[in-house]
Chains A and B, each alone.
Chain A
Amino acid sequence: MKPTANLFVLVFLVGLGAFGAVMSLTFRHLEAMTLPLVLSSVLLVMAAVQLALGFRTGGRKASDTPARAGTEARVAWSRLGLVVAVSLGFFALITLLGFRIATLVFVFGYLRFLRQRGWSVSAGFAVAVTILIYLIFEVALKAQLFKGLLFGG
């Protein structure tokens, strides 16, 4: 019997509960140990029970099915991977170039090369978003956004 993806999530939670319980036992003081140990143990037990029930019903129990079923689109894992990669790319740009330049480059690049929007629409929107971020954070909130490692951030 092949476990469903939902069962893998439960296995993860069992592992997390066990890890939390074991780590809690290493905390020096009783006050620091009490609640993490109790919570980890409860999580471990609940996840283990759900996992056992899931295996008993062959991984096909109603509550084991993903939240979206029927007419909803199936999970596009490759699409999720791409979106996460794009987000990490934006993070990398911010780290190197700072918020202002990174926002300009990211928004333009995303619209022009990933979404195939026109040059003028992509460039215009990128400039507008950058100005918006600048006005909201640096002017209105007087907050200093990260300047980027290449610019002394």
Chain B
Amino acid sequence: MIEAYGQALGFLFQPTTLGLIFVAILVGLVIGILPGIGGLVGISILLPFLFRMPAEVALSFLIAFHAATPTSGSITAILINVPGTASNIATTIDGFPMNQKGQGARAIGAAVTASAFGGFVPCFFALAMIPLLTPIVMNFKSPEMVMLVLLGIVFMGSFTEHGVSKGVMSGILGLLLALVGQELVTGVHRFTFGTVFLVDGLGLIEVSLGVFGVAEMFDLLTKRQAALSVGRMERKLSHVFEGAKDVFRHKWLWLRSTVIGYIVGVIPAIGAATAVLVAYAQAKQISKTPEKFGTGCVEGVIAPESANNAVASGDLLTTMVLGIPGGPFMALFLGAFVMVGVVPGPRMMVENLPLGLTLLLGLALANIIAAAVCFFGAPYLARVASVHIDFVFPVTLALIFAGSFLARGATPSMIETIIFGICGFMMKRFGFSRPAFILGFVMGDLLENYVLLSLQVAGPLFFLSPISMGLLSTIIIVLTLPLWRKGFARLRSFRGFKGA
């Protein structure tokens, strides 16, 4: 274990690694501050660049990017009431009123400091959990992995606002499309329609660029949003430092919100957007002055900003150890793992422990660096939010097409990306879950291997092991949760009627 820590720290503090992390943070800060773009579009655009890098470098780059996006997203949330990412939604409630009262710099100081420590400390919670989880997950064999993959898809598909069935159908569609191409064991060509291009299957880069990158561009252009006017932000560092001091004045609030964010991150598929709202609600409940929330109260900024950065370490732990993504970003991050040849899941902490530690420590480091850059560079970063979609679209499309071409060096890859862009747009419009779809797509081949191995070893009743049955029961409970809720609601209204 100590040796693994030594390897991880040795790699992280190399000058080239630090340089790449810094570049990733800058890219993440810019992407996080551009409203409507967000981390999902960013990671899909970054994927083509990364498969040429060694695994540790590529994944460290991505995790540093992930640390930065919610940090800068708070800037537009505070200055113009537009969250940079979904995890900055709750920050607008008190951040924007603080700006309106002339306390914008203080709000940003509080947000950035809360983000820094909220992202830094939980990484050590996650590191502490690894030796506890490893003996448990070592009992996971192929049948358990089948159930785990299905559980991940069900979780990812269930926690959407448009119904469990749409989410699960999205996951199944992703699994099905992952099977396109030549089956490796038997050599059978599946769903290739006689084309050479599809023999290698559909590419993760092309699909994710389409479903997230192109689809978001289409969505933004069909809505024709006007440019955002940011205005000038006051540059008094003393006010920014005042906000930083607020976090230390409210240290218990920061700690509670951080713990909430971390726990939500560990639970698969819940996501940062829920964590920030829960953190905000608890801050208001426990506050001595709850009536001030919503009018420009610094506690209303500290709570959500601590939580949204804390989610990332819980997310990452669940993704690496169980192979179940903690949220939509981690579904694509899972794809990045597979792309660079690392299989996340129970065996990762045994076979690739230094990599896992590198990523958690890298996340901690990136949160501090991102906050420092935001602290001093917020006025300049804020101007980025004013960039009109007219300029964002052609640059983004050019990057997407170039990345898509590079994936296989073939021009049909760009058509594949456009097709999946249309599919992603439709999915977004009609309430199907793109994260569940991508998770299914990423895990399709692995699931097939686990299923075939399980059938060979244990026969058709492979799911009867205790752990598999436990996971299967969880799947059934999650799938039937809406029915349970309806039933309880009817029971409550019946009892209320009887009482009346």
Residues of A within 8 A of B (CB): 5-6, 9, 13, 16, 20, 23-24, 27-29, 31-32, 34-36, 39-40, 42-43, 46-47, 49-50, 63, 65-68, 73, 75-76, 79-80, 83-84, 87-88, 90-91, 94-95, 99, 103, 106-107, 110-111, 115, 117, 125, 129, 132-133, 136-137, 141, 143, 145-146
Q: How many residues of B are counted as interface, with CB atoms below 8 angstroms from the partner's CB atoms?
A: 57
Q: Are B429 and A68 in contact (CB under 8 A)?
A: yes
Q: In the complex, what residue of chain B is closest to A78 when comparing beta carbons? A: B222
Chain B nearest CB: distance from A50 CB in Å? Answer: 6
- A111 to B447: give the CA distance in the assembly, Å: 46
Q: Are B394 and A110 in contact (CB under 8 A)?
A: yes
Q: Which residues of B contact A95 (CB under 8 A)?
A: 411
Write out, one digit per residue, whether chain B residues 180-195 have a CB within 8 A of any chain A CB (1) or not (0): 0001011010110000
Q: Are B162 and A43 in contact (CB under 8 A)?
A: no
Q: Are A27 and B418 in contact (CB under 8 A)?
A: no
Q: In the complex, what residue of chain A is closest to B188 when comparing beta carbons? A: A32
Contacts known (A63-B431, A84-B418); A32 close to B395, Cβ less than 8 A: no
Q: Which residues of B contact A136 (CB under 8 A)?
A: 49, 399, 402
Residues of B within 8 A of A (CB): 49, 52, 161-163, 165-166, 168-169, 172-173, 175-176, 179, 183, 185-186, 188, 190-191, 214, 217-218, 221-224, 390-391, 393-395, 397-399, 401-402, 405-406, 411, 414-415, 418, 421-422, 425-426, 428-432, 447-448, 451-452, 455
Chain A nearest CB: distance from B227 CB in Å? Answer: 12
Q: In the complex, what residue of chain B is closest to A40 when comparing beta carbons? A: B176
Q: Are B173 and A43 in contact (CB under 8 A)?
A: yes
- A141 to B223: give the CA distance in the assembly, Å: 35
Q: Are A31 and B414 in contact (CB under 8 A)?
A: no
Residue of A35, A94, A95, A136 with most partner-chain B CB within 10 A:
A35
Q: Are A137 and B402 in contact (CB under 8 A)?
A: yes
Q: Are B172 and A43 in contact (CB under 8 A)?
A: yes
Of A28, A32, A39, A88, which contacts B172 at CB under 8 A?
A39
Q: In the complex, what residue of chain B is closest to A80 when comparing beta carbons? A: B222
Chain A nearest CB: distance from B466 CB in Å? Answer: 24
Chain B nearest CB: distance from A73 CB in Å? Answer: 5
Q: Are B162 and A67 in contact (CB under 8 A)?
A: yes
Q: Are A146 and B430 in contact (CB under 8 A)?
A: no
Of B161, B185, B214, B429, which contacts A66 at CB under 8 A?
B429
Q: Are B176 and A91 in contact (CB under 8 A)?
A: no
Q: Are B222 and A76 in contact (CB under 8 A)?
A: yes
Chain A nearest CB: distance from B385 CB in Å? Answer: 18
Chain B nearest CB: distance from A62 CB in Å? Answer: 9
Q: Which residues of A contact B428 (CB under 8 A)?
A: 67
8 more CB-based (< 8 A) A-B contacts, given A43-B176, A88-B418, A129-B394:
A6-B431, A16-B173, A36-B191, A47-B169, A106-B398, A110-B390, A136-B49, A145-B405
Q: Are B395 and A132 in contact (CB under 8 A)?
A: yes
- A84 to B425: give the CA distance in the assembly, Å: 11
Q: Are B451 and A34 in contact (CB under 8 A)?
A: yes
Q: Which residues of A contact B430 (CB under 8 A)?
A: 5-6, 9, 66-67
- Can you list 15 A-B pairs, Cβ within 8 angstroms, ordered by A? A9-B432, A32-B186, A39-B176, A42-B172, A50-B169, A63-B162, A66-B429, A75-B222, A80-B222, A80-B425, A83-B221, A91-B414, A94-B411, A103-B398, A125-B394
